[in-house]
Each structure stands twice: as structure tokens, then as C-alpha cells.
């Protein structure tokens, strides 16, 4: 496209715009790459246009996902330009990670245990550990006992109180995970097997629920639905969360009874995740500018002389390309950048959104697929 200068010109001025690509429904459908994903990403790479992959998916470490996706898309991806639903969990404080015990929920087997360890969490337990140690915690998960046992690790005895529950990815055994999370949220101080019944009257509609040091609960992905291989959208982590909200309300009376489920939810469309991604994009584009301009004294002086080179704004616009109006488009439309970066949104027809329907959140443009989205944005940049 004409607006992309030739490579030598390019070395002088890295583009002041970038892309944020959603993954499921934009670049892949489950394990299959979408037809023009390779073409779109390699075109941008050959013209030094920065991009970040911003997904509500996860379940493996970023390095593993980047390796798999690079192979699948035939494009070499940068792990620094890859944000998954749980990537921000790596930024928990050392105190949270080293002194406290966390329950990590979700993903295949105990992959997410290993991710949490690589993030620096020292004391990690998973539902499979608890179930293998005491299958009576969820009688209806007995059919999965062999799978849970294969991934279980022995529990400390006595089990220390759990301070935080981190839902890294979609749970595979909803019954067990719903039961254990509910047990912990009704417990005394996060001690499994206890009930917080400060008023000792568990006949109350809220089963004697009291704030009593129960663990913090974090969800990493709000998606009620997502575009998997099946032709119709499938339940995402948001579906599990809604199931927990229902069980919680049935047991404690829920919000009507003044006992809302205390939780934090990150991931698209929330500001927390867009700000996290934008910071990575900005530092990446600064790095590109610095490395490209290194020989140009004046510019390099300009960058190095500035006390906080992080305040240098090297990006004016980001084009968010997504398939889910509720997450990608809503988030991109509503995000207000502290650095004044303008986010615009392109909705593709290869995922959750059904072509021809009226999306609840209006994108800047609706296009067929990711290549069309890239061409539209490059036209906008003419």
C-alpha cells in the first residue's frame, strides 16, 4: 500500500501507528490458522509496522504459545508482543507470590501450575491436588479421578490457608472447581474445610457468610462466548464465572441479600488489560525507534537526554482487530489512553460476530477478515 514507505525511508521513521490483534476468531479457529492471517502479519512485519497479539486465551506460558503460534502462522512472533488473559498475573507483588498460598484454576492438566511457577509464584496448589487427596470433596468428579491423579502434586499437611484464587484459563472440571472455589469463599480465612459462621447460624439464607479473611478471587478472561472450531460460539471463562455467580446467589442469597460475589475480572474489554498492552506497544515502538535511529546522533541524543525516555510518545494510533464485539470492540472503543494514543476498532466476520447482524458495540469498520482489516487501516494511514 502506498502509505508504507520503502524500507530505507522506513528506517528513518518507524510508523506512528500499530495494530493489536485478537487471536481466536481473527488469526486462528482453535488449532487452525485462518486463511489470510499469515499474509496480514508478514506484510506488516516486512514494512516495520509494530503489532501486538492481545488475547483472552491462555493456559500455557507466553514462550510456549508464541512458539506454537509462530509455527502455525508461519510468522516469527515476539514474546514481548504477546499478551494473554493471565499475563498480568506475573506482575503480582513478590509478597503475594512468595509468602502466600494460591489456588490456580483452569487449563489442561496442571499446565497453569507451571506457568504460575514461571511467573514467580512459590506456593501453588490446583484443584486436582485437593481432589486426589480427598475425592469426597466432589463426589461427581469420580470419573475424572485418574486424570486428576495424573497431574496432582501432594498437599502440605496441614494445608495452609489459601490467600488468592487465580482463574488462569477455562476450567475443565466445572463441578470440582465450582465446589472448591465456593468452599474457600465460605471458609474461615481461606482454610479449606472450615465455614465462616461468625454468628454460628448456618441456617441463615447466607449460610452464616461473613467477611472473614476469605481469599481474593481473580478471573483472567470475561468472555461468555468465544469462537472455537464448532460453528457456533462456545462458553468461555465468563460462562464458568456466571455459573459460580448462580451457585453463590443460591447459597448466600447473593446481591439481593447483600452478599455479592467479591471478585476481580481482567481481560478484554477492561481498561486494565488495554493499558497493560499499550505500555508494551509503546516500549516496543520506542525500542524500534531507538535501534533504528542509533546512528543518528541528534535523535539518539534527544532520546537519551530525556530523563524518562518512557515519556516519549512514539505512537499516535492503534488499530484493534477483533471478532467479539463484547470484548475486542467494546474495549477498543472505550479505552482512553493516558498517553493520548487513539484506538480504533475493526470487527472481522471470521469469529463470534455473525456477518450482517447489528453488533452491540459499533466498530470503526466491519470487514471480512484480518487481511481486509489491515488493508482498511493502511488506507486510513495514507
Which span sits near Mg ion by CB under 5 A: 97-105, 169-177, 317-325, 371-379?
A: 317-325
| Closer of 161 and 171 to ligand G3P (Cβ) | 171
Among 14, 17, 21, 22, indicate the residue that binds Mg ion (CB under 5 A).
22
| Closer of 21 and 121 to Mg ion (Cβ) | 21
| Closer of 55 and 163 to Mg ion (Cβ) | 55
236 contacts which partner out of ligand G3P, Mg ion, none, CB within 5 to 8 A by kind? ligand G3P
Q: Which residues contact 72 (CB under 8 A, 6 or more apart)?
A: 28, 31, 33
Burial class of residue 250 (count of CB atoms within 10 Å of its CB; 0-12, 13-18, 19+): exposed
Q: Is the dihedral of CA 240, 243, 249, 254 positive or negative?
A: positive
Least gap, CB of 106 to ligand G3P (angstroms): 10
Is the backbone peptide bond immediately before 269 cis, with ω within 30 degrees of 0? yes
| Closer of 129 and 223 to ligand G3P (Cβ) | 223
Among 14, 19, 21, 25, indicate the residue that binds Mg ion (CB under 5 A).
25
Binding site for ligand G3P (CB under 6 A): 22-25, 55-57, 170, 221, 223, 226, 236, 324
Least gap, CB of 19 to ligand G3P (angstroms): 14
Q: Could you give the strand order of the β-sheet that contains 123-125, starting from the edge strand earlier in sequence?
A: 123-125, 101-105, 162-167, 216-219, 264-265
**Site membership for Mg ion, residue 24 (CB under 5 A):** yes
Least gap, CB of 25 to Mg ion (angstroms): 4
**Site membership for Mg ion, residue 106 (CB under 5 A):** no
**Site membership for Mg ion, residue 332 (CB under 5 A):** no
**Site membership for Mg ion, residue 190 (CB under 5 A):** no
Amino acid at each position: 500500500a502506498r502509505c508504507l514507505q520503502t524500507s530505507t525511508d522506513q528506517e528513518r521513521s518507524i510508523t506512528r501507528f500499530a495494530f493489536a490483534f485478537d487471536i481466536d476468531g481473527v488469526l486462528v479457529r482453535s488449532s487452525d490458522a485462518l486463511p489470510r492471517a499469515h499474509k496480514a502479519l508478514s506484510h506488516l512485519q516486512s514494512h516495520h509496522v509494530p503489532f501486538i497479539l492481545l488475547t483472552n486465551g491462555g493456559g500455557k506460558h507466553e514462550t510456549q504459545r508464541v512458539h506454537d503460534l509462530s509455527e502455525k502462522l508461519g510468522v516469527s512472533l515476539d514474546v514481548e508482543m504477546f499478551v494473554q488473559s493471565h499475563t498480568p498475573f506475573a506482575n503480582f507483588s513478590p509478597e503475594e507470590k512468595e509468602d502466600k498460598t494460591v489456588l490456580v484454576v483452569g487449563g489442561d492438566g496442571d499446565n497453569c501450575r507451571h506457568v504460575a511457577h514461571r511467573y514467580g509464584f512459590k506456593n501453588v496448589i490446583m484443584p486436582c491436588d485437593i481432589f486426589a487427596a480427598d475425592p469426597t470433596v466432589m463426589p461427581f468428579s469420580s470419573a475424572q479421578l485418574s486424570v486428576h491423579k495424573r497431574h496432582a502434586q501432594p498437599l502440605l499437611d496441614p494445608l495452609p490457608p489459601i490467600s488468592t484464587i487465580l482463574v488462569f484459563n477455562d476450567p475443565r472440571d466445572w463441578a470440582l472447581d465450582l465446589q472448591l472455589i465456593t468452599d474457600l469463599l465460605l471458609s474461615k480465612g481461606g482454610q479449606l474445610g472450615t465455614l465462616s459462621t461468625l454468628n454460628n447460624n448456618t441456617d441463615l439464607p447466607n449460610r452464616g457468610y461473613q467477611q472473614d479473611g476469605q481469599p481474593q478471587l481473580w478471573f483472567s478472561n470475561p468472555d461468555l462466548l468465544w469462537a472455537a472450531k464448532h460453528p457456533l460460539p462456545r462458553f468461555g471463562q465468563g460462562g464458568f464465572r456466571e455459573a459460580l455467580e448462580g451457585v453463590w446467589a443460591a447459597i448466600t442469597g447473593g446481591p439481593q441479600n447483600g452478599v455479592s460475589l467479591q471478585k476481580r475480572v481482567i481481560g478484554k474489554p477492561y481498561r486494565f488489560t488495554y493499558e497493560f498492552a499499550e505500555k508494551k506497544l509503546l516500549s516496543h515502538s520506542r525500542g524500534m525507534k531507538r535501534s533504528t535511529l542509533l546512528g543518528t546522533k541528534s535523535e539518539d541524543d534527544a532520546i537519551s537526554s530525556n530523563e524518562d525516555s518512557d515519556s516519549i510518545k512514539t505512537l499516535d494510533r492503534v488499530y484493534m482487530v477483533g471478532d467479539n464485539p463484547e470484548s475486542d470492540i467494546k474495549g477498543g472503543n472505550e479505552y482512553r489512553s493516558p498517553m493520548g494514543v487513539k484506538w480504533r476498532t475493526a470487527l472481522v466476520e471470521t469469529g463470534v460476530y455473525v456477518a450482517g447482524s447489528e453488533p452491540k458495540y459499533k466498530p470503526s469498520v466491519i470487514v471480512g477478515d484480518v487481511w481486509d482489516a489491515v488493508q482498511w487501516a493502511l488506507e486510513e494511514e495514507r
